[in-house]
């Protein structure tokens, strides 16, 4: 079981690193990241989660959650 979670930590860490590096930097500042942008590519815009940036953001979030949970499970043992 420990080996499974160790491999899961490794894969999710690589997923976080790759997805963060593939994202483009935004010049909008903190306001744009909190929903202040009215661009159609925003997460709640017309195109929803179909843009490349939205998919990368979702992949980053999922990888980060899997990483945190598996790290906590490993630390509890």
Query: Residue 16 gets which letter from DSSP?
Result: H
Would you tell me the crossing angle of helices 2-22 and 52-76 to the nearest 10 degrees? Answer: 150
- Count the domains in the chain: 1
- pLDDT recorded at residue 76: 93
- Give the chain's largest Cα–Cα span: 46
- H helix or E strand, kind and range, residue 41: none
Does residue 11 belong to any structural domain of this protein?
yes
Does residue 76 belong to any structural domain of this protein?
yes
- pLDDT recorded at residue 34: 53
Express each pLDDT in 7-21 by its tens digit. 999 999 999 999 999
Range of the domain at 66: 1-19+47-77
């Amino acid at each position: 079981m420990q080996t499974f979670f160790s491999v899961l930590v490794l894969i999710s860490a690589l997923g976080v690193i790759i997805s963060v590096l593939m994202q483009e930097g935004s010049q909008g500042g903190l306001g744009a990241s909190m929903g202040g942008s009215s661009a159609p590519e925003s997460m709640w815009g017309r195109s929803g989660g179909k843009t490349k940036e939205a998919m990368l953001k979702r992949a980053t979030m999922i990888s980060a959650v899997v990483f945190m949970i598996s790290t906590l499970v490993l630390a509890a043992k």
